[in-house]
Chain A
C-alpha cells in the first residue's frame, strides 16, 4: 500500500520471496540441463535451453494458477498470493526466453522474416498431427506480455480495477493455448508420453481446484437468512466472532464483512478497492481492517483507508440484540462513519 508509486515496494517478505523464486528457477534450469546432458548428450544447447525454459514456464504457470484457489481454501497459502505478480513476471520472462530462442532456432536461419516464417511455414490448420502449434504459443506469450507489463499498481489505477481484472483473467485463455501448444507440439516431436501425462495431470489439478473452490463460494453465497426486521437481517450469534476477525455474509447478492474490533461489530463491503480481495478474510492490524491479498487497510468505523491513502469502501449498519447479530444490507456511501454495535 503506497500513496505514491515506486518501482517495487520492497520489504523483507518480498525479498525472500523473490530470492526463493530466483533460486528455484536457477536450480531447475541447471538440473534440467545436466539431466538432459546425461540422457541425451547429442542435444544442442539451444534445444536444451528451449526445453528447459518451456517446462519451467509451464510449471510456474500451474503454480500461479493454483495459488488463488489454494489461498481461498487455506489461509496458510496467503503469503504466496501476496507477491504473485512477481512470480507472473518471472514466468513471462522465462516463457519469453523460450519463445525468442525457438524463433531463432526454427525461423531465423532462412531468408524469410522470422515472424512471417512463424505464421506461414506451416499452414496445416486442419491437421491434428501437423498443426502449427508454435503460433498458439506466440499468442499465449502476447497475453503473458500484456499481463506482465500491466502488473504494476499504476496500471490497476489507470486502467480501472474492472478492466485490469478482465485483462488478467485472460490468463485462462493463455493457459488453454499453452495446453494446446504443448499437446500438439509433443505429438509432432515426442514419442514418449510423459509430457502429455504431465500436462494432463496439471490441467486436471487446476480444474479440480477451481471447481472445489467455486462450489464452496456458491454455497456460501446461497446461504439464506430467515429473520428480517426493519431492513435488518439476522445473520448469526455475537458469540461466534473472534476478536480482530470477520465473518462474511452474502445478503441481497452483496458480500458484507462483519468485523469484531474492541468488543464492537462493524460491517463493511467485502471487496477491497485494490484488486477485489476478500476483506472479510483478512484481520485487524494496528486498528485497521487489512486485506489478506496485498495489505490494503481500512478503518472499521468508516471504511476509509488511513491518511494519506484515499481508498474507501461502503459501510453498513449492524445491531446486536440479545446476542443476535443483525445487519442492514443497505450500503452507506463509501467512507461513511458508522458507530458499530456493542456486544453486551
Chain B
C-alpha cells in the first residue's frame, strides 16, 4: 500500500512538473495560435487559466499539435 501510494505520488509530481514546463510555452506562445479569442488577452486571464493548464496539459498539447499539423498541411498544399 505504502509503495503504491509513493509511486502514485511520484507519477503525479512528474505529471505536474511537465504541466508547469508546458504552461510556460503554452501561455507565452501557444495559446494565441490555438484560440483566436485569446489574442491580446492580458496577464490576469493567463494567470486564471494557469492552474488548469498545468492540470490538463495533455489535452491542450494535443489540440495545439493538431492545429500546427492542420496549418502545416495547408501550407504544403
Q: With A158-B59, A159-B56 given, can you name 14 additional A-B contacts, CB distance below 8 Å?
A: A5-B38, A5-B41, A6-B45, A8-B44, A113-B6, A116-B2, A120-B5, A145-B51, A146-B55, A149-B51, A150-B52, A157-B35, A157-B37, A158-B35
Is A7 within 8 A of B38, CB to CB? no
Which 7 residue pairs of A and B lie closest in terms of their CB atoms, listed nearest first? A7-B44, A149-B52, A149-B51, A7-B45, A5-B41, A119-B5, A5-B45
B11 within 8 Å of A by Cβ? no
Write the B33-75 contact mask toward A (1 if CB under 8 angstroms, else 0).
Answer: 0110111111011011101100110011001000000000000
Instruction: Point out residues on B near A: beta carbons under 8 Å.
Output: 1-2, 5-6, 9, 34-35, 37-42, 44-45, 47-49, 51-52, 55-56, 59-60, 63
How far apart are the CA atoms of A145 and B37 in the complex, in Å? 25
Please state if A115 and B38 are interface contacts (CB–CB under 8 Å): no
Q: Judging by beta carbons under 8 Å apart, are A152 and B39 in contact?
A: no
Within A1-43, the residues touching B (CB, 8 Å) are 2-8
Q: Is B52 a contact of A4 with CB atoms below 8 Å?
A: no
Contacts of A119 in B (CB 8 A): 1, 5
Residues of A within 8 A of B47 (CB): 7
Q: Do A155 and B49 touch (CB < 8 A)? A: yes
Taking CB atoms, residues of chain B closer than 8 Å to A124 are none
Q: Which has the most chain A C-beta neighbours within 10 Å: B34, B40, B41, B48?
A: B48
Query: Interface SS of chain A: helix, strand, loop or mixed?
Result: helix
Enumerate A141-173 residues with CB–CB distance to B below 8 Å.
145-146, 148-150, 152, 154-155, 157-159
List 8 A-B residue pairs with CB atoms under 8 Å apart, sorted by A's residue number. Answer: A8-B48, A113-B6, A113-B9, A152-B52, A157-B37, A158-B34, A158-B59, A158-B60
Name the distance in Å between A88's Cβ and chain B's nearest Cβ: 14
Q: How far is the CB of B48 from chain A (nearest CB, A)?
A: 5
Pairwise interchain contact A3-B48, C-beta atoms closer than 8 A: no
Closest to A146 in B: B55
Beta-carbon contact of B56 and A150 below 8 Å: yes
A3-B37, A4-B40, A158-B34 known; A123 vs B1 contact (CB < 8 Å) = yes
Contact A116 B9 (CB under 8 A): yes
How far apart are the CA atoms of A18 and B67 in the complex, in Å?
Answer: 37
**List of A residues within 8 angstroms of B42 by Cβ:** 6-7
**Contact present for A4 and B41 (CB under 8 Å):** yes
Q: What is the bound-complex CA distance between A191 and B37, given in angstroms?
A: 55
Q: Which residues of B contact A150 (CB under 8 A)?
A: 52, 56
A154 touches B49 (CB 8 A): yes
In the complex formed, the residue of A with least CB distance to B46 is A7
What residues of B have a CB within 8 angstroms of the CB of A8 in the complex? Answer: 44, 48
Minimum CB–CB distance for A328 against chain B, Å: 34
- List CB contacts (< 8 Å) of A107-127 with chain B: 113, 115-116, 119-120, 123
**C-alpha gap A154/B1 in the complex (Å):** 39
Q: Closest Cβ of chain B: how far from A167's Cβ, in Å? A: 9
CA distance A209 to B2 in the complex (A): 43
What is the bound-complex CA distance between A120 and B3, given in angstroms? 10
Compute how far the CA of A119 lies from the CA of B9 in the bound complex, rounded to whole angstroms. Answer: 11
- Residue numbers in B under 8 Å from A2 (CB-CB): 37
* Residue among A2, A116, A123 facing the most chain B CB atoms (10 A cut-off): A116
Residues of the B chain whose Cβ atoms lie less than 8 Å from the Cβ of A148: 51
A6 and B43 CA atoms in complex are apart in Å by 9
**Docked complex Cα distance between A23 and B37 (Å):** 34
**Other-chain residue from A6, A116, A123, A158 in contact with B6 (beta carbon distance below 8 A):** A116
Give, as a whole number of angstroms, the nearest-CB distance from A86 to chain B.
Answer: 12
- A152 touching B49 in the complex, CB below 8 Å, given contacts A4-B37, A5-B37, A157-B35: yes
In the bound complex, CA of A327 to CA of B58 (Å): 45
CA distance A2 to B51 in the complex (A): 22
Q: How far is the CA of A123 from the CA of B1 in the complex (A)?
A: 9
Q: Which residues of A contact B6 (CB under 8 A)?
A: 113, 116
